[in-house]
A and B are shown apart, each in its own frame.
Chain A
């Protein structure tokens, strides 16, 4: 019987999991919106840093909850602890949008 190997845990796999996390007002995922600032994969630990679009973003905790849940599923599959944090010092920029969204939003 062929065994389908699990792909190695890398940025692409993490981004794939985060595509299930949506901004509730825009209905777009955090990856395409450019809200994923950093992914740190270490032995036994995965940490994702998100960027808010505003210093008083009321959705931040909600996005973190959803990201934590999506990463938790990934962590269970790969046997790693996961963590999602918000970088409140960072500034979001439209250049971070995916090419598809940039085109849709007129950039």
Chain B
């Protein structure tokens, strides 16, 4: 008689079964990852199209199936669709679970782009926000809690809160929530690396105070006090920029060879843009406007440019071949942001549209550079 108790299965049989199950999970995970990456790329195209419409560079017919709605969805698609999908994918890969979270976030952006009723994308992003919070909680519960993990979890909660604020028409609170998602996620990641450094006590306390300004700004914005919320929000941005320029590890690594040096250059440029954005925001005393785009394009995309070469191998297991040319799109983005700043302050519509094309060209150039670097890495060791 054959004993069917699990413990009685021959080790070789058990190993084979485990291997088959792992293989099936691995294939499913890879497929989910590829689909999520495609959805993120779609979000990028949709978001940039909507942005070009808003900036006056193209007509509404050029913004995809949603037409005029694409302009209205621009910010939501960029933050919830593109960054929500990418950040959730990165966490899901690291935790080896929850790959449905980036899929739902990306599906929401696709629905928005295809002109679905607004409830569709918003429900998707609420569900994805809950999913990302749950992923962080799972990481803390099953692995280890840390301060930087808590900051990143707060970022995911800010995403969820921002989407809920958008559903009830609280635009300012939504802006703080969505941008807070990105700011806190980046802040948490950088705080993880600054564990390496010996920080004075006041620096550690200051960091906690800076990140605490984000939920404060959200609460104040939700209460309708937009001007005070702008002070709190841009104050947090200014504080974080100064903190990172002073204490982050990137300014010590800019001489590093290869991608490590590339990352450091991008991060330092991003911190500088964060400071410029915060200064502009404090001067204009409002949450949106040109300061918001200096933040998202200057700071957040510099983080993307900087981290892509080291995150792509984690997601694709391919190592992009180093090229110093990958730093050039950062310069184009910077130049286009200077043009944007001049256009917004001078009211020059043509320059504003040209700046918009410059932003898109910088992002497209960087994406093409990374794809080429990955292509050249074919056959290299995994």
Contact = CB atoms under 8 A, between A and B. Distances in A.
Given A56-B94, A59-B310, A65-B382, A25 B193 contact: yes
A69 B381 contact: yes
Interface in B99-153: 135-136, 139-140, 142-146, 148-149, 152
B267 to A, nearest CB: 9
Interface in A61-107: 61-62, 65, 69, 88-92, 94, 97, 101, 104-107
A5 interface: no
A88 B142 contact: yes
Sort chain A's interface into a size bin: 20 to 34
Contact of B260 (A24, A59, A69, A97): A24
Nearest to B261: A27
A105 B193 contact: no
Contacts of B314: 58-59, 61-62
A51 to B, nearest CB: 10
Contacts of A101: 196
B197 A55 contact: no
**A-B pairs, 4 with minimum CB distance:** A27-B260, A55-B143, A55-B139, A106-B198
B192 A54 contact: yes
Interface string B16-35: 00000000000000000000
Interface stretch (B2-10, B65-73, B222-230, B250-258): B250-258
A94 B198 contact: yes
Sort chain B's interface into a size bin: 35 or more
B311 interface: yes
Contact of B253 (A26, A56, A58, A89): A26
Q: Is the interface of A mostly helix, strand, loop or mixed?
A: loop
Interface of B: 90-91, 93-95, 135-136, 139-140, 142-146, 148-149, 152, 192-193, 195-198, 249, 252-253, 256-261, 263, 307, 309-311, 313-314, 317, 381-382
B144 A58 contact: no
B93 A58 contact: yes
Given A27-B257, A54-B149, A92-B195, A60 B94 contact: yes
A88 B94 CA distance: 11
A87 B70 CA distance: 45
Contacts of B149: 54-56
Interface of A: 24-27, 33, 52-62, 65, 69, 88-92, 94, 97, 101, 104-107
A94 B204 CA distance: 15
Contact of B197 (A27, A61, A105): A105
A90 B284 CA distance: 47
A89 B260 contact: no
A53 B192 contact: yes
B143 A26 contact: no
Given A54-B148, A61-B93, A61-B314, 9 more contacts: A24-B259, A26-B196, A53-B192, A55-B140, A55-B149, A56-B94, A91-B144, A104-B252, A105-B196
A55 B146 contact: yes
B260 A65 contact: no
Contacts of A33: 196
Contacts of B313: 24, 62
B147 to A, nearest CB: 11
A55 B196 contact: no
Nearest to B306: A25
